[in-house]
Amino acid sequence: MAFQLHHLTAQEQWDWVRRREVTALELTEHHLERIARLGPRIGAFARVDADAARDAARRIDANGQGAAPLSGVPIAEKELARRAGTVSGSGSRLFAGRPATVSDAITTAIDDTGAVVLGATTAPEFGLTGFTEPAGRPAARNPWDVGTGAGGSSGGAAAAVAAGLVPFAVGSDGGGSIRIPAATCGVIGVKPSRGRVPAQGGHGSLAGLVTAGPIARTVADAAMLLDALVAPGGRAPAPVTALVAPGESGFLGAAIRGEGRFSIGVLQGSVWDDAVSIRLDPAAARAVDRAADAVDALGHGRQNVRLQGEDYPDFFRVLWQASAATIPAHSAAELDLLEPYTRELVLRGRALAAERVVAALAAAAAFERRTIATFAAFDAVLTPALALPLRPVGWYTADADGDAGVDTVFDRQVQAAPYSSFVNVAGLPAITLPVGESDAGFPTGVQLIGRPGGEATLFALARQLERRFDWPRRHPPAFW
């Protein structure tokens, strides 16, 4: 297969621009061409900012990369993030045709990295679902099988990265929205610790659930992006070539070195087991076994661990509905513009008694303390990334009508991804990565959950597993 620029990792693309083996404009044009040709097929992009991207690339070529850490590398933001002067509609008809007047902090942080923003990736309405199938617009489809969904809510981002439309992308995660699509599409997804990313770091959302983070094809590229988001405009990464490793600094250094021996917990069951019927697919179980065997072979210690979360399903449902209540749709006409699932969540959230919300917040805080204490003996806790195999587009909402249908859709999301949302409640860092494939040849992955502030350990351990399974060499057909 003939070499193409998108075959390079993000680190390599940065280094090629630095050494003038390629211009930032050439990289930009290459990826824009792929977006135009392949993007509609997988529903990856809600908005393409081609002219602005070309202008940014030309400035870099004229002035040099400077100190910005990702200067010249193509990237995508998520359409939930507002960018002044563009229609950033949060995936909703509510804001259709209305350009944003201000940029969100995460958008500014992405700009400060020096990366060339190609556009905004598709998300479900207000990011409220673990699948990306917005009404009236193309669904984000999995490049491994376009009949299946890409997960959500950062589904467009994961599909774009897996298909080689961008080397990495910024997603957001309030209940698994980075990790679910990353695992679905066979790429790396990182949910940082609460407060780790200065912009959209979790403290501004109800119960501190939502944080921004990287989606990438390699562990090191994800670490490189997180370094840049944590300290926008900071140092440039060390040169990367086939023979020279980056300097030992930041998360990137931890990912490149991939060193250490760690204590690993293997989670038994999920916090949803008593409330929703959870069936772990055999391929998902094999992925955990494969990772656990690798942990043993690499010399790490491991033991099983269980969480106490009997009250979790009840308080999390309250928090999810309460978070939807803040969506700025108030008149009957505005509510009618919302998708049925969103509208029902909004109405339920606004009908909640204040004491129920306060009690849920208190229960979430207690769960956070309990979970951190339970996991304190481990450097990382291993779980399946997903419980079910790839889901066909339309599966979550099939035969889910009326008020009761909202509960059906919610339960199906839990059945597919029961290991995600509790990490947000606990504020812990987590990374998902592919470690194998199903009988059909699709990626299967695992999740590693760290201690508060423990991203460096996760990157080191994930890199060890990445080396062992050599997954970055595997790509969906669309990539080639």
Q: For residue 10, is it within any domain? A: no
Q: For residue 12, is it within any domain? A: no
Q: For residue 9, is it within any domain? A: no
Please, what is the end-to-end C-alpha distance for the chain in angstroms? 8
Token pair for 72: 């010249």
- pLDDT tens-digit series, residues 58-74: 999 999 999 999 999 99
Q: How far apart are CA 435 and CA 219, in angstroms?
A: 12
The CATH number linked to 187 is 3.90.1300.10
Angle between helices 455-469 and 282-297 (to 10 degrees): 100
- pLDDT tens-digit series, residues 293-342: 999 999 999 999 999 999 999 999 999 999 999 999 999 999 999 999 99
For 336, other C-beta atoms within 10 Å of its C-beta total 11
- pLDDT tens-digit series, residues 240-284: 333 223 334 699 999 999 999 999 999 999 999 999 999 999 999
Q: How far apart are CA 434 and CA 462, in angstroms?
A: 10
Q: For residue 336, is it within any domain? A: yes
Token pair for 323: 């978070």
Q: For residue 230, is it within any domain? A: yes
Q: For residue 467, is it within any domain? A: yes
Q: Are 427 and 202 in contact (CB under 8 A)?
A: yes
Q: Which residues are catalytic?
A: 78, 153, 177
- pLDDT tens-digit series, residues 92-115: 999 888 898 999 999 999 999 999
Range 204-209 average pLDDT: 87
Q: For residue 306, is it within any domain? A: yes
Q: For residue 14, is it within any domain? A: no
- pLDDT tens-digit series, residues 465-480: 999 999 988 999 999 9
Domain containing residue 313: 24-479
User: What was the pLDDT predicted at 246?
Assistant: 32
State the total domains in the chain: 1
According to DSSP, residue 125 is labeled G
